[in-house]
């Protein structure tokens, strides 16, 4: 059993992130890193969600969200909040929530 710290963090990404497959790429990257959580578009034109998993993998995903995103996206800003340690994961997969 791994004793690696599990963390949960909420995120919101600003820029040209809707209509550019941002959610699909975010889901794929999250799965690749073994993270769970969700991603959805907001009415204000941002993308938001939650990441959960081993701390180092969440950090990699945060870097990806800040700097990479989907090929046609233009990320202006990434905000992360409510970071906390968790005993166990709240989700079993990385989902796209369609509003």
23 in active site? yes
Give the model's confidence band at 2: pLDDT under 50 very low, under 70 low, under 90 confident, else very high. low
> What pLDDT, in 10s, does the model give residues 50-97?
999 999 999 999 999 999 999 999 999 999 999 999 999 999 999 999
For the chain, the domain total comes to 1
Residue 1 resides in a domain: no
The one catalytic residue among 10, 41, 56, 98 = 41
Say how far apart CA 73 and CA 5 lie, in whole Å. 31
Q: Which residue among 10, 16, 23, 98 is the active-site one?
A: 23
pTM of the model: 0.94
Percentage of the residues of the chain whose pLDDT score is greater than 70: 96
Would you say residue 86 lies in a domain? yes
Is 59 among the residues known to form the active site?
A: no
Nearest to residue 39, comparing CAs of 31, 47, 17? Answer: 47
Sign of CA dihedral 13, 29, 74, 66: positive
Would you state the pLDDT for residue 53? Answer: 98
For residues 60 and 2, which has the higher predicted lDDT (pLDDT)? 60
Q: Name the packing angle between helices 22-32 and 55-67 (round to 10°).
A: 150
In a domain, residue 26? The reply is: yes
């Amino acid at each position: 059993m791994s004793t690696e710290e599990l963390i949960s963090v909420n995120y919101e990404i600003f820029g040209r992130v809707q209509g550019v497959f941002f959610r699909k790429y975010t889901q794929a990257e999250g799965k690749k890193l073994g993270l769970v959580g969700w991603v959805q578009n907001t009415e204000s034109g941002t993308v938001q969600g939650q990441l959960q998993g081993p701390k180092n993998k969440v950090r990699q995903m945060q870097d990806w969200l800040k700097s990479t995103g989907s090929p046609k996206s233009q990320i202006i800003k990434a905000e992360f909040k409510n970071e906390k340690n968790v005993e166990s994961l709240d989700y079993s997969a990385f989902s796209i929530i369609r509003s």
